[in-house]
Structures are given as C-alpha cells and as structure tokens.
A = this chain, B = another copy of it.
Amino acid sequence: MTDRGQDLRLVEALLFASAHPLDDAALAARLPEGSDVVGLVAELTEIYRNRGVNVVRISGGWSFRTAPDLAPRLNLERVLARKLSRAAIETLAIIAYHQPVTRGEIEEIRGVVINRGTLDTLMEAGWVRPKGHRQTPGRPATWVTTPEFLLHFGLDNLTDLPGVDELKAAGLLDSRPSATLGEMIAEPESATDEGEESDDELGDDEPGADDAGEPPETEMPAS
C-alpha cells in the first residue's frame, strides 16, 4: 500500500478511535510531516459519503457519525405487553360511556377514589385526554376518549359501543338485584323469564345521547 494509502488508514483509525472530534492540527501531529491533511480528510469523507457512517465536521474537528437517515433504525423498539389494571379499564369504560366526564363524576360512578396513576396510564396509552371543563365550581376538567381509543378497540365511533340493553343481553350487565339471590340459587333458569320487572332505567345511558355540555347524570336506580 502506498504511503498515502497508509496515511488514509491512519486518519480513518484516528477519527474512529478518538473520543473527541480531531481537528486538522491534531491529525497533522500524528501524520508524517508535510502530510496533506485536508486532502486526506476530504478523500475519507468522500469514501464514506453514502455509507452507514459518515465523516462529519463537528465543533471544529472531524469525527465519524452514523448516517442521520439510519438513526431511527439503530434503536430497537421493544413492545412490552401489559395488562391494564382493573381500575384503569373500569375508568376507561366509564369515560367511554359517560364522556365528557369529570374525575369526580368517575369516582362517584365507581364508588371509589381514582388513584393518581390511573388516568395517567390511560393518557399514556393515548386513549383518553382532558377536553373542556365542567361549568361548575372549580371548573373541573372533563375527560373524553381519543381517536386512538376507537382504533384500538376497533370501533368506528362512540355510538358503536353497545348500549346497556345489549350488554345485558350479552350477559355482561346483570342487573338483577341481590334480593333475588335466593331465587337464582334455587332455580337459576328462571332468572331470565320474560316479563322481568327491572325495567331499563339504564336505557338512556347510551353514548352520544347526552348533550356534550351537560354532564350525564350518574344513575340512581329507581326504587
């Protein structure tokens, strides 16, 4: 290999190994006297122009840097599947059905105080966001679901959420009061006989039925 070729290798190794960009003077100090530092660097820059790493000028010196277009591919994205806590999914469901809904209203519906992290988790997941305020003392923020929420759960829009009737039919919402517990134990098959008395006071709970500005009533079962 020619001397120039060897010098080029040396510049390559120096720029590679140095923890800091090396300026022309620093390179010259390590090359034979009278070396064409500028020409060597230019040649090396050209060699690496379209490569995965490039020779770039940084803070007055020369350094190797990975090609900017590859930056996103250098990092490995690892997906961690995690289950939502019961509190989180319940809160999400209540926001979905009752939006816009304040934190206080969610707590009222759930009957428990919302843990600080619960809404954060849902926000982080990109499924809920605060939007607007309730025009009541303190002007509490109201929460709504996001388009990502619809995407994740495969819904076209909020009206796709099954109404309470449908939930009930699917066995997801059994509103039989506990007074009938004995009956259910005695003859469970009788539970769904027609003419059931628990009329659907939940019926108007469908999403979209509520006016946006109006807080939905938290439901009190009729008595």
Contacts and interface: CB of A to CB of B under 8 A. Distances in A.
Interface of A: 1, 8-14, 16-18, 29-30, 50-53, 64, 66-67, 70, 73-76, 212
B50 A1 contact: yes
20 contacts: A9-B50, A9-B51, A9-B52, A9-B67, A10-B70, A10-B73, A11-B52, A12-B53, A13-B52, A13-B53, A13-B67, A13-B74, A14-B74, A16-B52, A16-B53, A16-B64, A17-B76, A18-B76, A29-B76, A76-B212
Contacts of A64: 16
Nearest to A75: B30
Contacts of A11: 52
Given A14-B74, A16-B52, A16-B66, 15 more contacts: A9-B51, A10-B52, A10-B73, A12-B52, A12-B53, A13-B52, A13-B53, A13-B66, A13-B70, A13-B73, A13-B74, A14-B52, A29-B76, A30-B76, A76-B212
